[in-house]
Structure 1
Amino acid sequence: MSLLQSIVLVPALALTYAVLKIFYNLFLHPLRSYPGPIIGRATALYSDKATISGNLPQLLHHLHLKYGPVVRITPNELSFIDADVWKDVYGHHATAFEKDKMFYGPDSYGTPAGIIRADNAAHARQRKLVSHAFSDKALRDQEALLKGYAELLVTKLKELGAKGMKTDLVKWYNFTTFDIMGDLAFGEPLKLLEDAKYTPWVNSVFGHIRLVAISQVIRRWGFDKLFQMCIPMKAKEQRKTHMRFSSDRVDARLAKKTDRPDIWTYVLRHSEDEEHKGKGLHPTEMHSNGAIFMLAGTETTATELSGLTYFLLKNPAKMARLQEEIRTAFSTLDDLHMNELSKLTYLNACLEEGLRMYPPVPVGLPRTTPRDGAQVAGSWVAGGTTVMLPQYAAYHSPSNFKDPETFVPERWLPEGQAEYGSDHKDVLQPFSYGPRNCLGKNLAYHEMRLILASVLLNFDLELCEEAEGWPKQENFILWSKGPLMVRLKAVN
């Protein structure tokens, strides 16, 4: 065969393969009966473009409005917004559903993998150990540490308010959550609140998330190794620095002999008891989990606080009711105790509504159906299919919630049941569901109650003009949040 013939033949074969593959996806594929846009059913390029563009949550919401509760978004991927999916796919009896490897990728710290990417047996072993650090007892022990950072946040905000300066609450919420989790995961604060600025490492965390989203697309097309080769040397060094920062601080904390109530005190204590002897965490698991704690316990909490603050400021009557509840219950920061905060019904309702309106992780967390297929929300799904419940689309669907685009904390209270009793509230699972749900759920709720109550007890807030339309953001697994500019007025 001549060179000219080869040059002509290769593209022709590639085009033929593409045409046949599209034909198969549309007319012969086991998922061919599921509704969705024709380009999405034909090729994954449709979904991948939205992922890289940062508008996948909004696209999925649009598709579910058009096609209903289940949508075929790629040739081998189904998106569901029915609450039954939590039980069917993520629940305790759904262990045959595996985490989608294309979405999660390999553990950056090597094997054995940390708790996010571990197989079921390794996950259960790690979770049993780590769960002690997030128990109610641990939370009570950690309360003074958390209150110290909440008080420092208020002190810093008072200094800014006294100067009449506009303040970006996104930054200050992030400073607080990163300092708290730095103390719990590394045994030392990052001093973001103290210095009023991000460290280079924290900045690298934000940039790393976007790279993770792009990597998911690259892996789908089998170009991961080529992609790794093409990453600029500077970016590779930044990634190594980011990973080394976390692992070095975990190692430094593990080398200390202390009973301070951080995560590793509980893990090490229970690693030595009779039940867990010989079942402790491997160094790569510790390094990976330390990095996971820092991301999962910081950015997501600050995101919810930012979003909820925005919606409260856009709904002055709701804000006034919440401030009255907080200021009636407490006089000073010293009064803000965990048990008392948990009893504030309107505060809890606002948190739930904030998580519904602006879920910190708005995309789905995909699972793969077992080889022989499975029943998902009343539909039979072929084996090897990727399935997920995208939280933003599910929480904004009129099939799940009345007035889905309206901020209504009352829907979570008895007083709202006459009007909102038909809401499918069980679909709201912002911390996921089942044996792999978020370990830090109780910590996150207390942190959010404490930080928000501290701010609203001490300040009246005014939304600045430049923050209008703030929730219209790109998303790369997590929201790319712009500044939330407010004016602060200290109150007695």
Structure 2
Amino acid sequence: MRGLNDIYQLGDPSRIVRILSAIALLAILYPFALAVYNLYLHPLRKVPGPKLAAATKLPKIWHLARGGTLHWITQVHHEYGPIVRVGPNELSFIDAQGWKDIYGFQPAGKAGNAKDPKFYDFASVDETNLVNANDQDHARTRRIFSNAFSDKALKEQEPLLMKYVDLMVQKLHEKVEAEPDEKVNMVEILNFTTFDIMGDLTFGEPLYMLQNSKYTPWVTTIFNSLKATTMLQAISFLPVVSSLVNLLLGRFIIHARNVHFRYSTDRVDRRLVTQTDRPDIWTLVLRQVGEKALSLGEMHANADLFMIAGTETTATLLSGLLYYLLMNPEKMKKLKDEIRSAFQSQQDIRMGGLVRLKYLHACIEEGLRMYPPAPTGLPRLTPPGGTAICGEWVPGNTTVYVTPFTAFRSATNFRNPGDFIPERWISSDYDSDNKSVLQPFSVGPRNCIGKNLAYHEIRLLLATTLYHFDMTLCDESMNWCDQKVFALWEKPPLMVNLALAGR
């Protein structure tokens, strides 16, 4: 009771009650006052979009937590146009110019758009990597790794890639031989392959998922963490709830992240003490010495990054592309005919020859348009003084991004945007399409460093699979593309009936 008596000694009890009541009233009225400000006084008040989303973050939080943000933003763009306000301080763009203005190289003296820490705090580890590094460290790190992803390096790495392509084909052959018209989950097969490839490039050893035909616990944790990270991001917009979660689960979350990160660090350390000239990432990176060299922490952090960014995304594109080919049998036949007529045997299928296949390239571009592996916008924060984006002045400290899936599926950019039409990339009939908007690997100084590797992997895996096998889509996967998004697509099994190619 002493504490209460001390309060009463400060003055008239009724006065204290009035003060506390006023504070409580302000706490209640503040959200309403803020909503009114956001709607009628905020610098973004004239940007079109849902009124509730302009007033409060609650719609974004709701859709984010349910995995429906992407489809909601797509609907908002369809209703309101190419520039929309999807939060009190958040804009989404679908115009091709948005890529250059938001992510591109800026003229000398013009401030660029920094990465939005509200998003990237959840997408990064504490150590510096290509995602969370400042501009100076990023440029230095990228120069070092660019050698490992150059055309010369990729040619040296081709035998390593083919090792896993051959193993994937062997495993599929075993399934068909064991039971004709075997049902196969291609999402699993492609994940096994891409993770094994990147594991060998990054750690000097595969994860043996293809060999064992199952996910490792570490990879399963990666998939689960994508959804958990999205949930934490949604919660972060609610300060009271976020503080409670940190209080109750903070130590557990940190421990889980450290255990996951240690898996990468242990394997990188094991690779670094191995003397070898095999053409993996570290053989090329370790040639840099002195000030150009990476610290051990940077090596650990970037290895962890590559195992996420260079695996699941490639398998995702291949899964989506296979789905759309299977849903369009005439396009599938045309692609198989091109591949099977170009090569006399599997040994002839190599990176150099695949680059020359025009319809294969067109199918990949259309797959990236219909089902981009990173479908949601990568947020940037405008400089304090503001900047011009797509011809409109955007005030400082505004979250901005291009939403890839929405931009790629917009009728303002493409004819028949919901149809899978590889011919649009090679036929003059689709010259009106705004093809410059298709930037699935982003643009500018922080675009995807592994773009060339991804294209080579996609060509090799898709062409070799279709060279050997015929596929039909199982009934249970007819609506496979109806998916939620938690940072990346939440892919269900892609079940196909597999048979040896009837050449």
Cα distance in 2 between the residues matched to 1:232 and 1:17: 29
Structure 2 partner of 1:352: 365
Preserved CA contact (<8 Å) 2:196 2:210: yes
- How do 1:339-418 residues align onto structure 2 when only pairs under 5 Å count? 339-413=352-426, 416-418=427-429
Equivalent-residue separation in structure 2 for 1:387 and 1:474 (angstroms): 22
Distance in 2 between residues matched to 1:4 and 1:465, nearest whole Å: 67
| 2:258 matches 1:243 | no
The number of residues matched between the two structures is 483
Of 92, 100, 106, which aligns to 2:116? 100
The AA in structure 1 aligned to 2:428 is Q
Measured after TM superposition, the shift of residue 331 of structure 1 is 2.3
> Any conservation in 2 of the 1:106–1:117 contact (CA below 8 Å)?
no
- Deviation string for 1:220-277 (max 9, x for gaps)? 34465543332286665443321110111111111222111111111111x12xxxx3
Any idea what the Cα deviations from partners look like across 1:196-218, whole Å, max 9, x if unmatched? 00000000000111122122223
Percent of pairs with identical residues: 49
Shift of 1:5: 6.0
Q: CA deviation at 1:123?
A: 0.4
When structure 1 is superposed on structure 2, of 444-453 and 1-10 the one drifting more is 1-10
**Alignment of structure 1 residues 166-181 onto 2, 5 Å:** 166-181=183-198
Residue 114 of structure 1: which of 123, 129, 133 is its match? 129
The CA deviation at 1:15 is: 1.6
| Whole-angstrom distance in 2 between the partners of 1:265 and 1:149 | 20
Counterpart of 2:270 (choices 252, 261, 270) is: 252
Match of 1:476 among 486, 491, 502: 486
Quickly say closer, same or farther: Cα 1:358–1:93, change in 2 above 3 A. same
Partner residue in 2 for 1:126: 141
CA contact (8 A) 1:22 1:42 kept: yes
State the one-letter code of the partner of 1:429.
Q
Unaligned runs of 5+ in 2: 1-12
- Alpha-carbon separation, structure 2, partners of 1:373 and 1:232: 35
- Residue of structure 1 aligned with 2:171, choices 156, 159, 172: 156
Give the letter for the 1:397 counterpart. Answer: S
Greater shift in the superposed pair: 332-341 or 31-40: 332-341
AA in 1 matched with 2:159 = A
Tell me the equivalent position of 1:281.
Answer: 294
Q: Please give the alpha-carbon distance, in whole angstroms, between the structure 1 residues aligned to 2:22 and 2:57.
A: 25
Q: Of residues 83, 86, 90 in structure 2, which corresponds to 1:77?
A: 90
> Per the alignment, do residues 208 and 61 of structure 1 end up closer, same or farther by CA in structure 2, a change over 3 Å counting?
same
Match of 1:182 in 2: 199
Query: How far did 1:280 drift?
Result: 1.8
Among candidates 345, 348, 351, match of residue 335 of structure 1: 348
Per-residue deviation, 1:447: 0.1
The answer to whether the 8 Å contact 1:367/1:386 transfers is yes
1:109 is displaced (CA, Å) by: 3.9
Tell me, yes or no, if structure 1 residue 145 matches structure 2 residue 160: yes
Unaligned runs of 5+ in 1: none
Match of 2:388, SS? strand
1:77-119: CA deviation from partner (whole Å, max 9, x where unpaired) = 11010000111111111762100100111675424x2110111
Is the partner of 2:291 in helix, strand or coil?
Answer: coil
**Do the aligned residues in 2 keep the contact of 1:83 with 1:427 (CA within 8 Å)?**
yes
Q: Does 2:447 correspond to 1:437?
A: yes
Q: Give the structure 1 partner of residue 10 of structure 2.
A: none
2:170 is paired with a residue whose SS is helix
Residue 6 (structure 2) aligns with: none
3-state SS of 2:226 partner: helix
Q: TM-score, normalised by structure 2?
A: 0.93
Q: 2: distance between equivalents of 1:261 and 1:251?
A: 17
Q: Which residue of 1 aligns with 2:4?
A: none
Distance in 2 (alpha carbons) for counterparts of 1:387 and 1:149: 40
Aligned to 1:206: 223
Structure 1 or 2, whichever has the larger Rg, is 2
Mapped to 2, the partners of 1:481 and 1:132 lie a distance apart of 33
Aligned to 2:463: 453
Q: Determine which of 479, 494, 499 is the counterpart of 1:489.
A: 499
Q: Cα offset for 1:448? A: 0.2
Contact 1:109 1:284 in 2 (8 A): no
State the SS of the aligned residue for 1:481.
Answer: coil
From the superposition, tell whether residues 477 and 108 of structure 1 become closer, same or farther in structure 2 (CA, over 3 Å): closer
How far apart, in 1, do the equivalents of 2:104 and 2:303 lie? 26
Verify: 1:63 aligned to 2:79, yes or no. Answer: no
Moved more, 401-410 or 206-215: 206-215
